[in-house]
Amino acid sequence: MSIPTHHPFDFDPTYGFGLEQLRALRPPPAPPGFDGFWRTRYDAALGVDPRPQLGARKPGPDDWQVHDLAYSSTGGFPIGGWLLLPRSGTVRRGLVVGHGYGGRDQPDFDVPVEDTALLFPCFRGLSRSRRAPIPDDPAGHVLQDIDDPARYILGGCVEDVWVAVSVLTALFPGLDGRIGYSGISFGGGIGALAIAFDKRIDRAHLVVPTFANMPLWLSLPTVGSGQSVQAYQRVHGSVRDTLGLFDAATAATRIEQPMLVAVARFDPAVAPPCQFSVANALPDRNHHEIFVLDAGHFDYPGQREQHALLAGKVARLFRTS
């Protein structure tokens, strides 16, 4: 193992948790109205006509045709992103790929899949989906409308995933029931919330997911978006009720689809206890795999080898034959 021991932080990014302690963590109970809150939003998202618009094919790696993509999400919010299509073969699967809180300036060309249409949406307010007055930096974005659960920005981002699934089914009607999701960090937490209430997503891969076990997320030191929310809570003392409705670990208890979740022992941006709370919350009766990384949001010896092993598991999860 190569869990980092030297780092520049003034706190311990393992938080003193050993592996057995991490695996023993459980999600907080759902607040009253949790399921109704999300099912109502999901039903509304299903009623959206996304009106996807594909740009002309652009130069890309040999294996992919690259298209700019735009669609309309809930509330008419314009979402920008990319669609990657295989240059050869038949599209047999769809995959929505969420991004971290740094946004994205291009699609990922190394997703280990074949015969798959890859949709890379930029979540509302970020990257190609920037829109005033929403801040496009993580510290500001995560606070947008945080005092109003019905308008909190994270809810709109979850809806962007649901509408992205609708985009894939509109463009490729034959993919119904064969659409997956993959998301890291910010996209991992948003993904857990989306997957729990969208059975059109048939399997998913999450990496170091955030927005989980909110009581811990608010209390553990971090350099991530949680730091901004903690500072806001210290001044205003008003976010706990909202955050209870947006807990990715609570949502994970509702996930029925097969999952591959990669969680880290050391992470200065997303506390490992919060990540493991998502993985541990997945129902035992379903087929899930947990992959433990030595570190997240931090370079470490052996990183390339661990991620190569993980990529092999991702390929198996989303294989089309």
Domain containing residue 36: CATH number: 3.40.50.1820
Of 89, 84, 90, residue with least CA distance to 117: 84
Residue whose tokens read 């809930």: 74
In this structure, how many other beta carbons lie within 10 angstroms of the beta carbon of residue 30?
16
Q: What is the pLDDT of residue 53?
A: 97
Of 172, 183, 195, residue with least CA distance to 123: 183
Q: Return the SS3 of 37.
A: helix
Buried b (16+ CB within 10 A) or exposed e, 100-135: bbebbeebeeebbbbebbbbbbbbbbbbbbeeeebb
Q: Would you say residue 2 lies in a domain? A: no
| 143 vs 45: CA distance, rounded Å | 23
| Model confidence pLDDT, tens digit, residues 101-155 | 999 999 999 999 999 999 999 999 999 999 999 999 999 999 999 999 999 999 9
Residue 286 pLDDT > 80, yes or no?
no
| pLDDT confidence band for 1 (50 / 70 / 90) | low
Q: What is the DSSP letter of 177?
A: T
Q: Would you say residue 10 lies in a domain? A: no
Q: Which residues touch 252 (CB under 8 Å, ≥6 apart)?
A: 27, 192, 196, 212, 277, 278, 279, 281, 282
H-type alpha helices, the chain: 19-23, 34-46, 138-141, 153-171, 186-197, 214-219, 225-236, 240-244, 248-252, 272-281, 303-317
* Burial of 192 from C-beta contacts in 10 A (0-12 / 13-18 / 19+): buried
Q: What is the DSSP letter of 220?
A: S
Q: Would you say residue 114 lies in a domain? A: yes
Residue range 290-314: average pLDDT? 97
Residue range 272-298: average pLDDT? 94
Rg value, the chain, Cα = 19
| Model confidence pLDDT, tens digit, residues 27-83 | 999 999 999 999 999 999 999 999 999 999 887 888 899 999 999 999 999 999 999
Q: What is the pLDDT of residue 86?
A: 94
* Burial of 289 from C-beta contacts in 10 A (0-12 / 13-18 / 19+): middle
Q: How many domains does the chain have?
A: 1
β-sheet with 116-121: strand ranges across = 53-58, 64-72, 78-86, 116-121, 93-97, 179-184, 201-207, 259-264, 288-293
| Model confidence pLDDT, tens digit, residues 223-275 | 989 999 999 999 999 899 999 999 999 999 999 999 999 999 999 999 999 99
Q: Which residues touch 18 (CB under 8 Å, ≥6 apart)?
A: none
| pLDDT confidence band for 185 (50 / 70 / 90) | very high
Q: Return the SS3 of 99.
A: coil
Q: Would you say residue 282 lies in a domain? A: yes
| Model confidence pLDDT, tens digit, residues 150-171 | 999 999 999 999 999 999 999 9
Q: What is the pLDDT of residue 59?
A: 76
Q: Would you say residue 281 lies in a domain? A: yes
Amino acid at 61: P
Amino acid at 75: G
Q: Would you say residue 271 lies in a domain? A: yes
292 backbone dihedrals φ, ψ, rounded to 5°: -95, 120
Domain that holds residue 144: 19-317
Residue 321 pLDDT > 80, yes or no?
no
* Burial of 58 from C-beta contacts in 10 A (0-12 / 13-18 / 19+): exposed
Q: Would you say residue 8 lies in a domain? A: no
Of 209, 222, 229, residue with least CA distance to 268: 222
Q: What is the pLDDT of residue 2?
A: 86
Q: What is the pLDDT of residue 222?
A: 97
Q: Would you say residue 12 lies in a domain? A: no
